Structure 1
């Protein structure tokens, strides 16, 4: 080859090799830069059960730090439930990005968030509560340790199983407190995870779900200073909402005794304080592994809990304390110590994670991207919000007003949440509110049509509102340890 041709060819080959190398390096850097996702998910935690949210009666130093270093959504809701185990549909919605009547409880035929991330090259790891069938866990996670497939359990005897190479193995009973068991699994995963491979770690606690049996060490903060009663405490709910004798409502007798409610609140707070300490172990591991700067931490819960509010104990109602949950995002690109009052659903987390990981949102996902809120692109993702429970209750709320409809008894409640955030003053009979109620019922029906909720809002043969539960007692279920039975229940 002639010399005058050889030199340009050599330069071309050198430049080509450099360009290919540069492209590979750029692709590798982009891949490595994809953020890790650590999802911490509690069970039955009220939105106000975090010290940083103006609650001086609970100790949650690690959650408080997440609040200070992250972005909080103060109006995050579970849409509701088709049955008493509200946690199951809440988790189905969360993991599918779909609304209540558009997702099967076993997630069959639906792509889940961890499954999507796994397909995109993420290592997906799961531990703790998975209440949506084994098959959906199997398709969602690369690996799993100490996975609990049920709804509730004695916290010292949680039945768990591992997922290795696509198969379940090592079925056993946990020998330590549930929060420690799951965090041990999460910490082990983080310690072994290669720094160059992005991961999605789903850590789903069973705390503070009952049986409320916190370790003694976590109760020291509450031994001499029990939490005060909720501001909307009542001895009994003022009318029969259709679920007053359900399983959760039978964890103590009627009328509700203030001293028993305060004691249960202290135990509930103790469970959260213990869980908070375990969360601290995970966050510390992120720091030690130098993963903190490239990890987005999400903290939330499946819904709230009454615990004496409105004379109720459980989550089978549509008051704010039971449908609202904490929701925090913290990580690269997310503002620190800021919050939004926008109306959001827990299933909005799905498309938000898609945004943060630059993965296309699958068809069928109904949630909204919450990152738009902290980026200042909008101040809301919806104007109103719909909640539902069985065939017993339907509700719609906007930024200020909330209407609850009870179809089986043809009853309506209306609350001004700005002036009455604890929902104590029902304004439905006020003559000045007739037009507002009519408009909100129209909005409620619009939501029903949008979500394929077929429930009629009126009963032809309504059931009576009145119910007297004075002196009524119930036996505990099989999950209650003997000491709880002796403490709170009388034999029938």
Structure 2
């Protein structure tokens, strides 16, 4: 079985057509119909680098030593690529890496996660032009084309190469979009120009603009073209954000078509997800690093050619589940204990669920938190003192409007969840 993992950056769980009909994503919608749309998909750490740490180790942040952006994978933890390499897989990464650095420097082989083929960059360095990638040999490649288009084109080229090897492969494609700055190609922006934006009950007005540091946004911010375009204008930000998602979708369509042309469709597992979401005014907040649904909740679509089709599922799934799942499809288990669970038995209808609960966390001395949710409730605690501060009944309150943390009625539920998260995160799963 071949594996293709496509992930966006800062794409929240509702940001595609099957969950919001105002967003045009025909190819992602088709992928849902050919596989399973998991409505309860989560990032285990809603920030760029630490998410990738969980993805490529199968371990929660508390166990994998990747706590902040720019930190590399821990050398003593076998990466997903290394384990697939040992099984004879061709492994390939294309796109935003953001492990082991924050700037525009080349990425040495020691930081490339053991991928045999590598074409990536640490952090964004231009969207519409001056786009830079680094290959596995540390050589700089520059493109004057939109970053999303470059990513798609490089992925298409490499799929043909992987096909020619005659070996099973693992291809990862990491888009930078729709992460700010919101700079879609004009033809995609035009699709949403002037369209009204519907806000959910949790929305509170906030300025969506965030300056960038690679490249460095002009100061004062009023001189920045991005600020002039959507500063203090969440609706325009969302329109441009949605345009970038439609642009990603176009790329996904090209990739799926290439899989069909190469005759690989019946032997390739396809996963689409995101590293984290985007608050977009939910609770008056923006960006990520938060335990709310718009930050931790991500799209999660899996197409197993021999598995469930046209299924919308509410079972719990998260990024750490990808590691053990791919090894399961490859016919083996991880050489180290992992925090995730394989979703293969669920997709092949051998089991009715995947996880009894999922966990997310954000490691920070002052504002760090840890979150656990089961099929109904979500509990969030401060990491510095392990005291609960948010508690929601997601079944009856999907927008997280009513914090029940001080309600004695739910004391036993909170105690159970607190015990579960303590066991899960304070255990010695890491190696």
Q: Are the structure 2 counterparts of residues 140 and 436 from structure 1 closer, same or farther at C-alpha, using a change threshold of 3 Å?
A: same
Matching residue within 88, 98, 108 for 2:49: 88
Matching residue within 370, 373, 382 for 2:355: 382
Q: Are the structure 2 counterparts of residues 404 and 345 from structure 1 closer, same or farther at C-alpha, using a change threshold of 3 Å?
A: same
The answer to whether 1:413 aligns with 2:390 is: yes
Please give the per-residue CA displacement for 1:309-342, whole angstroms capped at 9, x wherever unaligned. 1111111210011111111111321211113322
Q: Are the structure 2 counterparts of residues 136 and 41 from structure 1 closer, same or farther at C-alpha, using a change threshold of 3 Å?
A: farther
In structure 1, C-alpha distance between the alignment counterparts of 2:211 and 2:401, rounded to whole Å: 25
TM-score by length of 1: 0.74
Matching residue within 30, 36, 47 for 1:71: 36
Q: Residue 461 of structure 1 corresponds to which residue in structure 2?
A: none
In structure 2, C-alpha distance between the alignment counterparts of 1:374 and 1:307, rounded to whole Å: 32
Q: Are the structure 2 counterparts of residues 433 and 121 from structure 1 closer, same or farther at C-alpha, using a change threshold of 3 Å?
A: closer
Q: Residue 22 of structure 1 corresponds to which residue in structure 2?
A: none
Matching residue within 196, 200, 216 for 2:170: 200
The answer to whether 1:47 aligns with 2:13 is: yes
In structure 2, C-alpha distance between the alignment counterparts of 1:372 and 1:449, rounded to whole Å: 28
Report the RMSD for the aligned CA atoms in angstroms: 2.9
Instruction: Kindly report which structure 2 residues correspond to 1:424-443, keeping only aligned pairs within 5 A, or say none.
Output: 424-443=401-420
Alpha carbons 1:69, 1:337 under 8 Å: kept: yes
Q: Residue 404 of structure 1 corresponds to which residue in structure 2?
A: 380
Please give the per-residue CA displacement for 1:373-395, whole angstroms capped at 9, x wherever unaligned. 12233333332223222242232
In structure 1, C-alpha distance between the alignment counterparts of 2:206 and 2:418, rounded to whole Å: 27
In structure 1, C-alpha distance between the alignment counterparts of 2:248 and 2:421, rounded to whole Å: 37
In structure 2, C-alpha distance between the alignment counterparts of 1:222 and 1:110, rounded to whole Å: 44
Alpha-carbon shift at residue 73 of structure 1 (Å): 2.1
Which is worse superposed, 313-322 or 151-160? 151-160
Alpha carbons 2:98, 2:123 under 8 Å: kept: yes
Alpha-carbon shift at residue 119 of structure 1 (Å): 2.2
Alpha carbons 1:232, 1:424 under 8 Å: kept: yes
Q: Residue 114 of structure 2 corresponds to which residue in structure 1?
A: 140
Q: Residue 98 of structure 2 corresponds to which residue in structure 1?
A: 131
In structure 1, C-alpha distance between the alignment counterparts of 2:324 and 2:311, rounded to whole Å: 21
Q: Which runs of 5+ in 1 are unaligned?
A: 1-34, 238-243, 454-492
TM-score by length of 2: 0.84
Q: Are the structure 2 counterparts of residues 187 and 72 from structure 1 closer, same or farther at C-alpha, using a change threshold of 3 Å?
A: same
Instruction: Kindly report which structure 2 residues correspond to 1:287-366, keeping only aligned pairs within 5 A, or say none.
Output: 287-366=260-339
More RCO (CA 8 Å, sep 6+): 2
The answer to whether 1:60 aligns with 2:25 is: yes
The answer to whether 1:38 aligns with 2:4 is: yes
Alpha carbons 1:388, 1:395 under 8 Å: kept: yes
Alpha-carbon shift at residue 60 of structure 1 (Å): 0.5
In structure 1, C-alpha distance between the alignment counterparts of 2:211 and 2:126, rounded to whole Å: 16
In structure 2, C-alpha distance between the alignment counterparts of 1:124 and 1:189, rounded to whole Å: 11
Alpha carbons 1:153, 1:211 under 8 Å: kept: no
The answer to whether 1:153 aligns with 2:125 is: yes
In structure 1, C-alpha distance between the alignment counterparts of 2:10 and 2:151, rounded to whole Å: 17
Q: Residue 195 of structure 2 corresponds to which residue in structure 1?
A: 225
Question: Which one has a bigger Cα radius of gyration?
Answer: 1
In structure 1, C-alpha distance between the alignment counterparts of 2:60 and 2:245, rounded to whole Å: 28
The answer to whether 1:277 aligns with 2:246 is: no
Please give the per-residue CA displacement for 1:440-477, whole angstroms capped at 9, x wherever unaligned. 33334333423689xxxxxxxxxxxxxxxxxxxxxxxx
The answer to whether 1:114 aligns with 2:88 is: no
Alpha carbons 1:152, 1:209 under 8 Å: kept: no
Q: Are the structure 2 counterparts of residues 408 and 142 from structure 1 closer, same or farther at C-alpha, using a change threshold of 3 Å?
A: closer
Alpha-carbon shift at residue 366 of structure 1 (Å): 2.5
In structure 2, C-alpha distance between the alignment counterparts of 1:452 and 1:142, rounded to whole Å: 27
Alpha carbons 1:229, 1:261 under 8 Å: kept: no
Q: Are the structure 2 counterparts of residues 437 and 191 from structure 1 closer, same or farther at C-alpha, using a change threshold of 3 Å?
A: closer
In structure 2, C-alpha distance between the alignment counterparts of 1:442 and 1:277, rounded to whole Å: 44
Alpha carbons 1:236, 1:310 under 8 Å: kept: no
Matching residue within 204, 221, 225 for 1:234: 204
Alpha carbons 1:43, 1:87 under 8 Å: kept: yes
Alpha carbons 1:45, 1:208 under 8 Å: kept: yes
In structure 2, C-alpha distance between the alignment counterparts of 1:271 and 1:111, rounded to whole Å: 34
Please give the per-residue CA displacement for 1:57-114, whole angstroms capped at 9, x wherever unaligned. 1011110110000122221212226xxxx11011011011111122133122222212
Please give the per-residue CA displacement for 1:142-170, whole angstroms capped at 9, x wherever unaligned. 2233x11x13333133321112xxx332x
Q: Which runs of 5+ in 2 are unaligned?
A: 67-71, 101-106, 223-229
Q: Residue 100 of structure 1 corresponds to which residue in structure 2?
A: 61
Alpha carbons 1:94, 1:347 under 8 Å: kept: yes
Q: Residue 177 of structure 1 corresponds to which residue in structure 2?
A: 146
Alpha-carbon shift at residue 438 of structure 1 (Å): 3.9
